[in-house]
Amino acid sequence: MAGIHVVTDSASDLPAELADAYGIGVVPLTIRFGDEELVDRVELPAKAFWDRVVSGGPLPETAAPAPGAFEQAFLEAAAAGADGVLCITLSAGVSATYQSATTAAAATRHSVPVAVVDSRTLTMGTGLLALAAADMAGDGQPLDTIVGALEEMKQRTHVYGILDTLDFLHRGGRIGGAARLLGSMLSIKPVVEVRDGVVAVESKQRTRGRSLEYAAHKAAELGPLERVAVVSALADDIDGLLQAVRAVTCHHDLVVGELGPVVGTHAGPGTVGLCLVQAVRR
């Protein structure tokens, strides 16, 4: 495994087949249902998570990986012959995962050089950055060059979420009570975005259909695109959005995936995520 090895966390919602194909290591977060702790992806597949959420019972919470989980991933890469490790985490604005990774990087610095990048985003926004990093690593680019490219690419990365309700974000402390109450009173289907590393309400739409149409409009407005992904949780109404996104010029194939337990804990069932990286304007 000479060259740079890419690691991300399970909140990236990177489909397992893509992570395997690109050789990207995935460090899982933990999901808690009351006193029960389950390791994301390992002990709790996305389908099992959503089955538990919709069936009632204790509401889930999330916990960042311990530094030791990242240390293990970094040392395994070193043992396989990596010249360096690039770790891309979900936004430090919503999770302690970035801090765990930086602690692990310091602990393993004598074994392998590690650079940790705060994606400042969530779900496949992080995943698309990881795929771009893996492509650059495959081209033989050095660690510092890839980090610099990702820092620039972060400015072109946008994540929008179509939610059925703001209740899950409010319960997890990710959005204020006033916004949640307003949405509930007016039966609004909000569109949120990750802005400056945290979740904010971007648009208030009157119906679910209008929210999905609005997301499709954002994809067209921001095009042409370098990379794009659509993730969803128990949503069977995304065909129109997928068709619209596929019509936008993009340098890479559309990635379609499932919203996993980490982001799903705070977004709730029915959520659809549109994650994209704008192409460089010339």
Which residue, of 126, 154, 182, is where some domain finishes? Answer: 154
Dihedral of alpha carbons 84, 90, 94, 100, sign: negative
CA distance 13 to 123: 5
CA distance 263 to 90: 10
Query: 108-161, pLDDT tens digit by residue?
Result: 999 999 999 999 999 999 999 999 999 999 999 999 999 999 999 999 999 999
Query: 81-91, pLDDT tens digit by residue?
Result: 999 999 999 99
CATH number at residue 34: 3.40.50.10170
CA distance 176 to 230: 26
pLDDT at 187 over 70: no
223's CB contacts (< 8 A; 6+ apart) are 248, 249, 250, 278, 279
pLDDT at 182 over 50: no
Q: pTM of this prediction?
A: 0.94
Count of domains observed in the chain: 2
117 and 15, same domain (yes or no): yes
Task: Give how far the C-alpha of residue 202 lies from the chain's centroid of Cα atoms, to the nearest Å.
Answer: 18
What is the arithmetic mean of pLDDT over 152-180?
Answer: 75
Its domain, for residue 90, covers 4-154
Chain mean pLDDT for the chain = 92
CA distance 205 to 63: 32
131 and 217, same domain (yes or no): no
8 and 147, same domain (yes or no): yes
